[in-house]
Amino acid sequence: METRTYEREKLYHEVWAEPMTTVAKRYGISDVALRKQCKKLDIPLPKKGHWAKVQAGHKVQVPPLPKSDGPDKTVVFVNDTYRGLSPGLKASDRLLFLPEEERETVKEYCAGLTVPSELSKFHSLVVDTKQYYRARKESTKPPVDRVINITVSDEQRERVYIFYSTIFTALEHLGYSITIKAPRSERYYNYQPLVKDNKLYVGLGEDDVKIRIKEQIKQTKHVPTDEERNKYFIPAYDYENTGKLHFIIESYHAARKNWRDTETKRIEDQVGEIVIWVMEA
């Protein structure tokens, strides 16, 4: 069992010297988890836009570390067995954070989840996303913060829309929230977010994890054409969409992070399992 120690004064100086995400990486945790430790130790934190002002050369006031009747450090035990959970973890060992009766209800619900081949009613975020990519005029496009950043080929878009709608509806039914954020806009002052900056999050209370779907790419060695032989730059490789999708939980603490289409199974066939692992994360 590994232990991780957070010293109040040391951590205070660290979070005011560097962005939270940088400090969190040194501790091997997420910035959300580090914020929780700071809250326990009564450490004031930089507000939104702080680092953008610093980067722009503005003077910023650092609040002093307040007196506190709480501890001057915390020691956290890290269960390496849990962090190393394999995809083959017994079903009985999943969702242990839920009461037993609720756990069985969730498992039964997830076991019955299916992704339809067609869908007549999409989740509201998917509706807005479809409208954004379909609209020709800016005036008919929904707000950027309502648009999912879709990075798959056109042939796979409808499939992704249906999958997202299914998993969003399931997670919301189980008490989770689905939000779109543009982390880059939170780091840079007066930055206007673009759709390509958008990240998709599943949240519960103050916690959230990032998820996304991408299309697997096939890399092949590029064979130069006669026309290219006289050019200064010739690409070393060609990249081709495969039509195979890859679902990812982008969280340091996620025990399982990846599901891919294979020759025998698609991510749609694993939707119930994916929902459970998102909850675990």
Please give the Cα distance from 149 to 251 (Å, whole number): 18
* Contact between 23 and 34 (Cβ < 8 Å): yes
pLDDT at residue 89, rounded to an integer: 53
Nearest-angstrom CA–CA distance, 275 and 140: 33
pLDDT digits (tens, 9 = 90+) for 255-281: 899 999 999 999 999 999 999 999 999
With cut-offs at 50, 70 and 90, classify the pLDDT of residue 80: very low
Whether residue 3 has pLDDT greater than 50? yes
Write the DSSP assignment of 181-232 as a string of letters: E-HHHHHSTT----GGG-EEEEEETTEEEEEEEEEEEEEEE----TTGGGSS
Residue 92 — pLDDT band, cuts 50, 70, 90?
A: low
What was the pLDDT predicted at 160? 97
Residue 22: count other Cβ atoms within 10 Å of its Cβ: 13
Dig out the tokens for 259 from the structure. 């599901």
Q: How far apart are CA 249 and CA 166, in angstroms?
A: 16
Q: Mean pLDDT across the stretch 14-36?
A: 85
Q: How far apart are CA 6 and CA 109, in angstroms?
A: 39
| CA within 13 Å, CB half, 51 | 16
DSSP 84-137: T--TT--GGGTTTTS-HHHHHHHHHHHHT----S--SS--HHHHHHHHHHH-SS
Q: What pLDDT is stored for residue 83 in this prediction? A: 42
Give 171's pLDDT tier (boundaries 50, 70, 90). very high
DSSP 175: T
Identify the band that residue 84 occupies on the pLDDT scale cut at 50, 70 and 90. very low
Beta-sheet pairing, 73-78 with 177-181:
unpaired
Average pLDDT rounded to a whole number, residues 108-132: 95
| CA dihedral over 40, 41, 44, 48, signed as positive or negative | negative
Mean pLDDT of 222-235: 80
Average pLDDT across the chain, whole number: 87
Residue-wise pLDDT tens digits, 183-198:
876 667 777 888 999 9
Half-sphere exposure at residue 2, Cβ-oriented, CA atoms within 13 angstroms: 10
pLDDT of residue 232: 74
pLDDT for residue 21 is more than 70 = yes
Q: 3-class DSSP state for residue 246?
A: strand
**Mean pLDDT to the nearest integer, 72-99:** 64
